[in-house]
Amino acid sequence: MPVFSNQYNATIDDKGRVVLPASYKKELGNEFDQGFTVELDPYEKCLNLYPQSSWDTRLNSIKSKLNPNDPRQSRLLDKFYQNFAKISVSENGRLNIPNSFYTQKGIVKDVVFTGQGDRIRLWDVNEHKNAMLSDDDFRALFQECLGGGLNTI
């Protein structure tokens, strides 16, 4: 399974396409031809891009936790399934993400790809600046959540 890291700037062209960074394309290896599932992030103003193997894991996890015969959970599943789309990747790495997804997350032209393990996140450059932790906040949150410095894991 690919592991994505780092961040890369890119630009959405006039047709709504954006080029996947070369390092992410390389990380995908044989999965490159399988395309991605793009999801509207349920919490933040970004899009999540999952290679097929990662999406299958996510989808199975969500389906195992929800009962489609429960009315509330069924509505949650309805919304969940409306908030993702499968997309292909052209040979040169162009992604054709639905324009409605860009609009819903306020993504206009200049974007930032960020790797987050098994998924890639796509942000509007300004939203990314606003959402990222400062180094001090990162250090404090790391301490709080993981109980120590970088060298204690």
- Tokens representing 125? 């450059």
Query: Residue 126: inside a domain, yes or no?
Result: yes
Residue 87 has pLDDT above 70, yes or no: yes
Our count of domains for the chain comes to 1
Write out the residue range of the structural domain in which residue 22 sits.
7-152
Using the structure block, give the residue that is written with the tokens 């997350």: 105
Percent of the chain with pLDDT over 70: 96
* 2: in domain: no
Q: Round to whole Å and give the CA distance between 83 and 102.
A: 12
Residue 88: count other Cβ atoms within 10 Å of its Cβ. 11
Sign of CA dihedral 19, 47, 153, 60: negative
The answer to the question of residue 71 being in a domain is: yes
Single pTM value for the model: 0.89
> Would the CA dihedral through 121, 126, 127, 131 be positive or negative?
positive
Which CATH number characterizes residue 48's domain?
Answer: 3.40.1550.20
Residue 57 domain flag:
yes
Assess if residue 124 is contained within a domain: yes
Radius of gyration of the chain (CA): 17
pLDDT at 151 over 90: no
Note whether residue 1 is domain-resident: no
| Chain mean pLDDT for the chain | 93
Secondary structure E strands in the chain: 7-11, 17-19, 36-40, 46-51, 84-87, 94-96, 110-116, 119-124
Asked whether residue 27 is domain-assigned, the answer is: yes
